[in-house]
């Protein structure tokens, strides 16, 4: 009972730390969005911005998958990964909208989109609210917004599916502990194999941990007396 209580408390602590790390990651990403010199992207071709941004998103997702598989608590790490990749996806397109508005004010009905306007428009379309106060006007802007609306459920669904698979793989690779300070099933099996092998090689050796201080000769002698008594 104390071991289960300690493991449960440790898991709750990891959940709390995971939530704090997720919040910190989202805050850092939003801070980068407001601090990076996105005004210089106005002269960069839109296709280049999208390709580079999606490659960065794929790289971050791959890195997060490795962390999930190797984590001691894969489910908690997967939650942190989703809290990083989804905001990164939204901020990527918010940056694209901001750059498009800077490149040509005719792309949106609002002539000058601020960073907050771009982020607001991205979140409202992602949540399928769409108040209609900001709308794409040019053909290029409408194509980009349409592509992003198609990518929204795909990216979110694929992210969840991939990270769930990583959680399952991580749980298979992580040895299940039997309690704090106690070996897992694999370690216990290996230790038993070692004891049996050592006894066969040197039956007169003393195994203090498994025979309670008695020599293996005494153990065999006791076993023999039981056998004779039973016969």
Question: Would 16 be classed as within a structural domain?
Answer: yes
Q: What is the pLDDT of residues 11-46, one digit of tens each?
A: 888 889 889 999 999 999 999 999 999 888 878 888
Distance CA 111, CA 115 (A): 13
Tell me, yes or no, whether 149 and 189 share the same domain. no
Please say whether the dihedral angle defined by the alpha carbons of residues 150, 55, 44 and 99, taken in this order, is positive or negative: positive
Tell me, yes or no, whether 208 and 160 share the same domain. no
Tell me, yes or no, whether 152 and 198 share the same domain. no
Question: Would 180 be classed as within a structural domain?
Answer: no
pTM beyond 0.85: no
Give the HSE-up count for residue 15: Cα atoms under 13 Å, Cβ half-sphere: 7
Tell me, yes or no, whether 193 and 89 share the same domain. no
Tell me, yes or no, whether 164 and 202 share the same domain. no
Domain that holds residue 220: 185-230
Tell me, yes or no, whether 139 and 40 share the same domain. yes
Tell me, yes or no, whether 46 and 78 share the same domain. yes
Portion of the chain with pLDDT greater than 70, in percent: 73
Tell me, yes or no, whether 130 and 220 share the same domain. no
Domains in the chain: how many in total? 2
Question: Would 148 be classed as within a structural domain?
Answer: yes
Q: What is the pLDDT of residues 38-89, one digit of tens each?
A: 888 878 888 899 999 999 999 999 999 999 998 888 998 999 999 999 999 9
Tell me, yes or no, whether 32 and 138 share the same domain. yes
């Amino acid at each position: 009972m104390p071991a289960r209580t300690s493991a449960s408390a440790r898991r709750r602590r990891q959940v709390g730390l995971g939530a704090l790390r997720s919040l910190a990651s989202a805050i850092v990403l939003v801070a980068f969005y407001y601090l990076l010199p996105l005004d210089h992207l106005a002269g960069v071709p839109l296709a280049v911005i999208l390709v580079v941004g999606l490659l960065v998103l794929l790289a971050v997702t791959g890195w997060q998958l490795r962390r999930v598989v190797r984590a001691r608590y894969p489910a908690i790490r997967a939650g942190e990964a989703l809290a990083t990749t989804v905001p990164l996806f939204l901020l990527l397109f918010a940056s694209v909208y901001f750059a498009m508005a800077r490149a040509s004010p005719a792309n949106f009905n609002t002539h000058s989109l601020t960073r907050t306007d771009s982020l607001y428009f991205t979140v409202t379309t992602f949540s399928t609210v769409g108040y209609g106060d900001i709308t794409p006007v040019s053909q290029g802007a409408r194509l980009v917004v349409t592509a992003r609306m198609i990518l929204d459920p795909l990216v979110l669904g694929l992210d969840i599916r991939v990270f769930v698979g990583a959680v399952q793989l991580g749980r298979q690779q992580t040895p299940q502990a039997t309690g704090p300070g106690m070996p897992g099933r694999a370690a216990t099996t290996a230790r038993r194999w070692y004891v049996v092998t050592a006894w066969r090689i040197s039956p007169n050796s003393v195994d203090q941990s498994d025979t309670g201080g008695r020599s293996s000769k005494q153990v065999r002698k006791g076993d023999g007396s039981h056998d004779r008594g039973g016969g």
